[in-house]
Structures are given as C-alpha cells and as structure tokens.
C-alpha cells in the first residue's frame, strides 16, 4: 500500500484506539487533502466489510477499511444484535471463514472466562443460551475477535483501518469511481482514498448516491416484480423499522430505575398506525404474531420465574446465562432488548438528510429508554405486581455513555440496480411452488452462484404503516449478478445493498449472509485483478466464471446446498 509521504506500516487512524499513526503529510495538488491508496477501498466495517477485507488481505491485496463507529462488526457489535442464523450453521450453509469466526468467539470464552466445566466442554457453547441463536454472546467479544483476525495485516502493512470515518464525497469518471473522500468524525479532517476497486459495505449504501451508482429504495410495486407479497403501489420511502438496541441485567432487590424519559408519556400511549392493525399499545407484552398478524401474548421474567407457555422475552436474546459460569461470577443474566416493543416505525431513515436521520435516531432512543422505564415501573409480573426496578441498563456492554447501541440496527438500505435482481419467485416457498409446479420446491438454481444462505422472509413493520410481512423462504444461493451494478465498473455492494427487492431483502439481510456477500465480493476482486479483467467479465465469460467458482470453493465458500 502506498501511503504518500509516510510509512507503509498498517495502522488504525483513529483517536482513542490502541493503534495509532499520524496521517500522511503529502497533499493532493489543488485541494490539500492527504491521500491514501490501496488495491481496494472498503467503506463500512460491518460483517460484510470485514469479510471482504479478510478475503482480500489473505490473498495478498492491500486494503483501506473505513467504519463510522469505533467498533467493527456492524449488526453483531455496534448495533447489538446477536446472530440470526439458520439451523444448519454449525456444519454448512456459510463460508468456512464465518464458522471459523464463530468458533473463535467460543474459544475466547473458554480461554478468558470462568466457565463451568459443563459449559467449557460443550462443543457448541452458547454463552447466553439465548433462544434466537446457537451462539448468543457479548458484542465486545465479537469485536475483539474481529480485531484478532485483522491484526496480522495491520502489522504487515496490508491493511489501514480508519475508524470513526464516513464517506462524504466521491470522484467519478464515466463508469469508474476514482476516489472517495472520508471525514474523521472526531476532528473533521478529511482524507482522499484512491483505488482501482471500491466496496460499499455501509449500513445504508452510503457510497451509492455519492458515486452515481443507480439504486432503489423502499417497496417495488407488484406490477414491477410480479411478487405476490409486493404492494400494489411502489413507495421509495416505505422501509422497515429500525431499532436502538440496549443491554440490561437484573439485580433482585436493587433499584436501578432510570430517570423518566422526556418522551415517556408519548410512547406509553403510542399505538402503531399499521395495516393490518397492531393489537394495542406498543409498550405492552402483546404484539402482532408475524405470520398471522393475530394478537399474541408474551412473557417477561428476568428473575427466571416461569412464564408458562408464553415466550419469555428475557431469554430471547440473552447474551450471558449466569449458569454457564462459575457460581457467583455473575449476579444475574445479561440480555439484549431488540423486541417488537422498540422497533421504531414513525419515520424513515433511508435516503434522508443527516438532520432527518439524527431526528429519528434520537426519537428511537427515547422509545428504547421508555421501554426500559416501563419495564422497571409498569410491566406486569407473572406472580402479580408491576415493574422490575432491579433491571439495570448496561452501558458498558454496549460501549456507550447512554447505554444504547452505538448505531441503529438497520434492516433495509439503498439497493443497487443490479445485473440480476433476486425476486420472491426465486426464493419464496409459496411462489416458488407455483413457478415450479411442485409441492416441495427448491430455490432457484443460479448458474453464477457465489454463496449460499437461509433465513425466512422476515419484514418488520414499516415506516409507511405496513405490519409484518413474514412467510417461508427456501435455502438459497447468492447469484453473482446481484453483486454487480448495472453500469458502474469498479464499485460493489457488500451489505444489505445488493440486488434484492424489498421483499427478498427480508432473507438476505442477516449475519451469515452478509458475511457471505462480503467474502464473495472480496474474492471476486482478488480473482479479477489476478486475471486482469473487469469483475463483470467474470460473469459474462462462462469459462472465467467456472474458474472463479472453483477458486472460491477452494477458499471454503459453498456454492450449492447439499442434496
């Protein structure tokens, strides 16, 4: 990597982090902005960006990776969401590197935490025993493991990590991106990043409008996509709710009640305006069951008391189960609150101004704090009475002063207009059955598959008043065509911004699939550079495509589900 006017040593350019290096002193003629160059520039340090970076550096390329927060890992860390995964994840259905990452998280607990003998020896250790995943764990542990993965390449100079930097401008010539300008969010200083390849792994597809890459947002109409769950009218501002997650533990007999949030009166009486209708107030132990939209009761008991047949929300995203550790090490469990009750529905944050984005994020924080206050003071207890004052906001778990996640959990972003768009007819069980004429369909078999994944199609209530859209999908493939923009030659998506629709985004947006997308894109750039061709040519030339698929399989990427 060429660091003009400075050392070529890998580094993290960020105040307050353990690895620091002064920015290069060289200036770009005409504007005075320091310049950095690498084989690949990646904007966004979520799971897709990290996987893309690892794929590049382990194959010899140099990388500049930027991230707007001070944690790597995206939805798994800075957004505070334990992994949503399919039931086969321990053995297949994701790249070998993703399963290796999961195992390193388990081994971190085994090496550094006082686990019980039973937990320590369990081959599929689940630190939190949360119901949502076979591996519920603390965000900071995942962030630490990610940094361990990246450390060798920071040390040898292949990787430069720019934490708390966001993209603000791009230079484009025709169908090629020449450079991206990023701003240090702490001090406002700017850097110019030049490369032959750019990857947009941001949570909202931030590089797409900056680079003139064609994209869509919101819902497509049924006439556009022929999807049976698509609405009759398109609406670019109709996006899924986002959530400000937070972590809590419980101290029996203590009082950790927070100050009454400023907007508590509003949220305490708020009923979502959705169609079909939400069953009542948002702050309650009732919600619309996603598949049927009928009212469904939920349980909540952080002390471990029984909630009968009701799902105990406390256990759903629990990241520390004290029973997994030596007696007395934890005084209580730790759980993540990412529930229907703190999904923020009143406003859209996709493709809006920074001021509008901040306004809605601030309101979403008030919703989450109001939910906590309601749990502490008014939530019904299984044995009678109201409120759990022993609930404690764990700001240390989230690494923030206010106790809320560093960044909103975003379910939907800008999506590229791709060379191939994944539709419901390719992955939705019901529509796929109609297309294939069989009662036991398989997802579409893509000739250009570069990965596999699975999650049911799960759309949360939207900013324009849609209730849940939740229905079965099929174990699917990731087509290379969905990772290639229609026109641009050297910018590629590696997050929720691939060529899906509003509907199919619902099953391509979770942790292992995002990692798979990032790894596929990183390996595509490795292969294209080695072959001396544009990445889009790999899909056009069937012989090149065959070689590429053989290459990625040799790197631990599965391109077909087992029969």
- Per-residue model confidence (pLDDT) at position 26: 43
Contact 242, 349 (CB under 8 A): yes
DSSP labels, 448-461: TEEEEE---EEE--
Show Cβ contacts of residue 191 under 8 Å, excluding neighbours closer than 6 positions. 13, 23, 33, 34, 35, 36, 162, 165, 181, 182, 184
Helices marked H in 91-163: 96-112, 117-120, 139-156
Burial label for 384, CB within 10 Å (0-12, 13-18, 19+), is exposed
Residues of the chain with CATH 3.50.50.60: 1-81+135-236+414-530+539-563
DSSP state of 221: P
- Per-residue model confidence (pLDDT) at position 27: 53
Block means of pLDDT (10 residues each) for the chain, 563 residues, are 30 33 44 91 98 98 98 98 96 97 98 98 97 96 98 98 98 98 96 98 98 98 98 97 98 97 98 96 97 96 93 97 97 97 98 98 98 98 95 97 97 98 98 96 98 97 97 98 98 98 98 98 98 98 98 98 91
Tokens describing residue 240 = 């899924």
Q: What is the CATH number of domain 1-81+135-236+414-530+539-563?
A: 3.50.50.60
Burial label for 31, CB within 10 Å (0-12, 13-18, 19+), is exposed
């Amino acid at each position: 990597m060429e660091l003009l006017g400075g050392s070529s040593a890998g580094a993290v350019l960020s105040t307050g982090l353990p690895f620091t290096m002064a920015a290069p002193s060289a200036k770009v003629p005409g504007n005075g902005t320091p310049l950095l160059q690498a084989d690949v520039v990646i904007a966004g340090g979520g799971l897709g960006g990290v996987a893309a970076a690892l794929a590049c550096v382990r194959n010899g390329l140099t990388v500049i990776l930027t991230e707007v927060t001070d944690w790597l890992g995206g939805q798994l860390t800075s957004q505070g969401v334990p992994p949503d995964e399919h039931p086969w994840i321990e053995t297949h259905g994701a790249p070998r590197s993703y399963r290796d990452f999961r195992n390193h998280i388990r081994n971190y607990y085994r090496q550094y935490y006082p686990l019980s003998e039973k937990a320590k020896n369990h081959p599929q250790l689940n630190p939190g025993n949360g119901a949502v995943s076979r591996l519920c764990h603390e965000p900071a542990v995942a962030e630490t493991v990610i940094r361990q993965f990246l450390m060798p390449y920071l040390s040898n100079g292949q990787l430069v990590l720019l934490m708390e930097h966001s993209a603000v401008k791009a230079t484009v010539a025709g169908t090629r991106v020449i450079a991206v300008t990023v701003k240090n969010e702490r001090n406002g200083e700017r850097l110019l990043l030049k490369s032959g390849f750019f990857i947009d792994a941001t949570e909202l597809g931030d590089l797409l409008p900056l680079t003139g890459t064609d994209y869509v947002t919101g819902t497509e109409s049924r006439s556009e996509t022929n999807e049976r769950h698509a609405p009759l009218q398109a609406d670019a501002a109709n996006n899924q709710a986002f959530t400000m997650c937070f972590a809590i533990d419980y101290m029996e007999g203590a009082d950790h009640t927070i100050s009454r949030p400023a907007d508590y009166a509003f949220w305490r009486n708020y009923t979502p305006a959705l169609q079909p209708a939400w069953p009542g107030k948002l702050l309650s132990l009732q919600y619309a069951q996603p598949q049927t939209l009928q009212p469904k009761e939920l349980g909540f008991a952080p002390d471990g008391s029984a909630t009968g047949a009701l799902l105990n929300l406390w256990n759903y995203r629990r990241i520390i189960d004290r029973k997994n550790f030596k007696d007395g090490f934890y005084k209580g469990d730790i759980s993540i609150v990412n529930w229907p009750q703190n999904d923020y529905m009143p406003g859209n944050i996709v493709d809006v101004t920074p001021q509008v984005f901040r306004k809605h994020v601030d309101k979403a924080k008030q919703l989450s704090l109001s939910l906590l206050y309601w749990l502490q003071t008014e939530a019904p207890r299984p044995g009678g009475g109201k409120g759990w004052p022993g609930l404690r906001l764990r700001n240390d778990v989230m690494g923030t002063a206010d106790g809320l996640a560093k960044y909103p959990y975003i379910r939907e972003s800008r999506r590229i207009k791709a060379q191939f768009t994944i539709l419901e007819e390719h992955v939705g069980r019901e529509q796929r059955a109609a297309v294939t004429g069989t009662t036991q369909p398989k997802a579409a078999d893509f000739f250009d598959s570069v990965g596999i994944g699975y999650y049911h199609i799960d759309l949360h209530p939207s900013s324009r008043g849609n209730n849940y859209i939740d229905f079965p999908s099929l174990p699917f493939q990731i087509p290379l065509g969905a990772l290639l923009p229609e026109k641009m030659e050297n910018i590629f998506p590696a997050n929720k911004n691939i060529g899906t629709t509003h509907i199919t985004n619902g099953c391509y947006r979770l942790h292992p699939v995002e990692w798979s997308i990032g790894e596929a894109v990183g390996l595509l750039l490795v292969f294209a550079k080695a072959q001396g061709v544009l990445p889009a040519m790999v899909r056009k030339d069937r012989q090149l495509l065959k070689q590429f698929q053989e290459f990625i399989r040799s790197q631990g990427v599965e391109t077909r589900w087992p029969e």
